[in-house]
Amino acid sequence: MAAADPGDPASEPNPAGLLLGHIVASGTVAQEILDISKKSTPCFVNFSRLQQITNIQAEINQKNLEIELLKLEKDTADIVHPSFLAQKCQTLQSMNNHLEAVLKEKRSLRQRLLKPMCQENLPIEAVYHRYMVHLLELAVTFIERLETHLETIRNIPHLDANLKRMSKALAKMDILVTETEELAENILKWREQQKEISSCIPKILAEENYLHKCIVTP
């Protein structure tokens, strides 16, 4: 048995240690048996390891659950978060106030809608005047092209038929262009022939006059 360290409080002799030392000194129990009895049993060691693994697995499951809860909170933050809910409540409250004001003025609004708005000035703040000028230009342009746009929309169902007609018209135009070119070539040839005939007529007339003279004066 190892000697006790006088500077270590844990190594100070106690009654159990003195008793075990006396038993070992008397030879009743060997020191090897006491050393074996100090070692942990493998079964209990494995049990403690299994308990540690179980505890770690439970901690991992708890962390995974917390992660899933955080993800769910992030996905539903715009629905359940107090700040978002407060903003939505304010928006709904303002809409509710507006609808209440509309319902209170329902009769006057109905009369105003039934009354024509011709030759009336709508009050617009000075800040928005330049935007109104641009808006009026766009409105005038849109009204000018409205009939064209409507005609285009009406022709959309007949687009295939119109394309076929255009193809046939282009084919006819190609034929007419070819015939026109041929006619132009024929006209040029005819002009050349007329020039040749015109140049030969004086000679023929001179020959006829000469022959006539010869016949008259033998």
pLDDT tens column, 69-88:
888 877 776 666 677 778 88
Q: Are 86 and 164 in the same domain?
A: no
Mean predicted confidence (pLDDT) in 36-55: 68
> What are the helix (H) ranges across the chain?
15-26, 31-38, 42-75, 77-80, 82-104, 106-114, 129-144, 146-155, 159-216
Q: Are 133 and 210 in the same domain?
A: yes
Q: Are 43 and 63 in the same domain?
A: yes
**pLDDT band at residue 218 under the 50/70/90 scheme:** low
41 belongs to a structural domain: yes
Range of the domain at 30: 18-77
Query: How many independent structural domains does the chain possess?
Result: 3
22 belongs to a structural domain: yes
Predicted pLDDT of residue 1: 42
Q: Are 70 and 87 in the same domain?
A: no
Better-predicted residue by pLDDT, 36 or 114: 114
Single pTM value for the model:
0.26
Q: Are 158 and 165 in contact (CB under 8 A)?
A: no
Q: Are 32 and 45 in the same domain?
A: yes
